Amino acid sequence: MSSSSNSTTQTLVIKPKSGWQLIDWKELIEYRDLFYFLIKRDVLAIYKQTVMGFTWAIIRPVFSMIIFSVVFGGLAKIPSDGIPYPIFSYAALIPWTYFSATMNASTQSLISGKGIFTKVYFPRLIIPLTPVLSKLVDFAIAFIILFGLMAWYGISPTVNLVFLPILILMMMLTASGIGMWLSALAIQYRDIPQGVGFLSQLLMYAAPVVWPLSLLQERFGESATFLYGIYPMVGVIEGFRSSLLGHNPMPWELIGIGTLTAIFLFISGALYFKNKEPIFVDVA
């Protein structure tokens, strides 16, 4: 009597999903360890071998604040809604610096990470979303100077401070949406990274970073201000100033319309990224 055993070999074939796809949150959770590793690597890569370390997170917005205070607050005499110009500009520079740094890092993320995603499979969306979380370290450190400036000028936080998490979420949503758009475009069209620096400067001066929103209201009226709120960073910046400095009421109209735009950017960015994902390996 003889017996025989049959062995079968199973092969797992991973194919890209067809059609328009949104974010697969379940898959991202399954790869959370990789997500954490990339975020940690992102932070350490910037500061591990630098002499000044995390001080750079403070130097960037502080030097911008000094330059803006001299040029715009001192020479150009731009109004600041009765708030000392250094803290007026710095309260806007904190969210703006995060947004600009995240946008630049996300744009380059697929290009610099092609050595990883062309060899092994994991959700490609992790790559442009990594700077969205890693840049929060710089963002948190920059707050040290803000609270120091508030103490120096005798400004106490108001009850509106409780709305700050909403503004931070809106800021992250905007940065991640634009990051997904630009990263997917940059891997295919290498002109995109070259133009991001110019785009960043353009978006900064288009936002109320160095000048108050009241200036726009005085010259063009409330309707123009409402349309201006379509740019999400307007509501974020003005909301930061209102929640931290308390010089104006919370701009809920701007925050509301900006949130809708941020959600649109996030959803459309995810759709475009997932649609282009199958060609990333070929064009990398």
Band the pLDDT of 4: cuts 50, 70, 90.
Answer: very low
- The pLDDT value given to residue 20: 56
| HEC letters along 39-107 | HHHHHHHHHCCCCCHHHHHHHHHHHHHHHHHHHHHHHCCCCCCCCCHHHHHHHHHHHHHHHHHHHHHHH
Report how far apart, in Å, the C-alpha atoms of 23 and of each of 17, 26, 28, 271 are: 12, 9, 8, 8
Residue 17 has pLDDT above 90, yes or no: no
Mean pLDDT, rounded, for 130-142:
93
| Single-letter amino acid, residue 176 | S
- The pLDDT value given to residue 259: 97
Mean pLDDT, rounded, for 261-279:
93
Tokens representing 281? 């390996």
- The pLDDT value given to residue 3: 47
Residue 222 has pLDDT above 70, yes or no: yes
H/E segment holding residue 200? helix 192-206
Give the chain's mean pLDDT.
Answer: 87
> Which range (12-26, 120-134, 257-271) has the least confidence?
12-26
The number of angstroms, rounded, from the C-alpha of 69 to the middle of its chain's C-alpha atoms is 24
- The pLDDT value given to residue 81: 87
Q: Which of 181, 179, 169 is nearest to 255 (CA)?
A: 169
State the pTM of this model: 0.88
- The pLDDT value given to residue 235: 95
Hey, where are the domains in the chain? 25-283
